[in-house]
Amino acid sequence: MSARFTIARLGSQGDGIAETEAGEVFIPFTLPGETVTAARQKDRATLMSVLEASPLRIDPACRHFGVCGGCALQHLETEAYRQWKREKVVHTLKIKGIVCDIGALVPCAPQTRRRVVFSARRTEAGMQLGFVRALSSEIIPIEECPISLPEIVAALGRLKALAGLICATTKSFHMTVTVTGSGLDVAVHESGKLGENQRRVASNFVIAEGLARLAIDGEIIVEPKKPVVLFGGVAVAVPPGAFLQATAAAEQAMADIVGRHLARAKKVADLFAGCGSFALRLAAKSEVHAVEGDAAALSALDRAFRFASGLRRVTSERRDLFRRPLTFKELNAFDGLVFDPPRAGAEDQSKQIARSDVPFVAAVSCNPVTLARDLRILIDGGYALKSVTPIDQFLWSPHVEAVALLEKPKRRR
């Protein structure tokens, strides 16, 4: 049964929140000030109709919006969307008692996302390829995606056909598609064990269609062209399923901010270094020690450095920084540091950084909550927070990146 609601504000995930006598109700695809009808299920409701629309409501950019489970905020006017996303960072830091200069949001343009994770499944009606509807396991087939690079959208038919060739399971599986300088890199997970004939057919398809690589559960099935990305002009042959920032423009914006902050550092530590998106850029001016737990990523970084020219020395160390963070004594060998952990943040590593004498620190995060926690640790350890820059690389989603810059005065010996 549907009921009438008035939307009071937007929640952290982009849902409209209505306040009722029975508690808050979260209603996706609504905006503050709107009156709507929605079908309620406990503290959530499904939007039925908008009776009184907000002046900030605009037409969504995609025909699949509201169904595919990807974007949350295509219906919000651009400037209001950017203010809301910046405010997420401001509010989260304020909860931890952190007030500082927070810059304007670095915006994200449409059609720039270079890495997309599709869901696929074979059904009685045929192969499905798309995104999963929110709070559901239903795959919504897509025909367009305005956040993704055109190369990915243009390949949707070929990717669906490839999914059909490699499918060896009745369950859904994931297909990560990355645009590289060599073509599309396709990394598949949990599609089932391929038979020899399937391998041969899939390999022939990949070669014929000009794809760069097909890997399944980390095993390279065929690699006609080694997938390569550029980090500040340095070519890196990335391993299957390697982590990359979602957009090249956001990666460059983050690297520029970090690079300016660490410009005076002669020796820099790059923690959670991945394939080297920061390390290889920083090595243009500084010696860099890159620390990363993933062996394949670290190997790609090291190989790229060895074949590059014009870089200062880059050393690498495989180390699980969650289990064994660099100690403050180890960190004191450096005069600059950048760390870019996964969403869980770097609590234990931050405690060691806080005890160190490293004068310049850059913290990069895709999760304002764990960033605020880690910054609080650093500030309590004597660091001064100079600035925080929010960066949007997950367009129309509730996710936001941020780069925080900190300094600590040198201690008198």
Give catalytic residues, as residue numbers: 366
Fill in the amino acid letter for 363: A
> Which H or E element spans position 248?
helix 248-261
Q: Which residues of 26-42 are buried (b: 16+ CB within 10 A; e: fewer)?
A: bbbbbbbbbbbebebee
- Taking the C-alpha atoms of residue 402 and residue 413, their distance in angstroms, rounded to an integer, is 34
Q: Hey, is 304 helix, strand or coil?
A: helix
Residue 24 burial (CB count, 10 A): 14
Beta carbons of 400 and 85 less than 8 angstroms apart: yes
Region of 343 (left: φ > 0; alpha: ψ -120 to 50; beta: rest) is alpha
- Integer Cα distance of 398 and 72 in angstroms: 7
How far is Cα 246 from Cα 251, in angstroms, rounded to an integer?
8
C-alpha 392, offset from chain centre: 10
d(CA 267, CA 283): 9
Calpha distance 154→209 (Å, rounded): 12
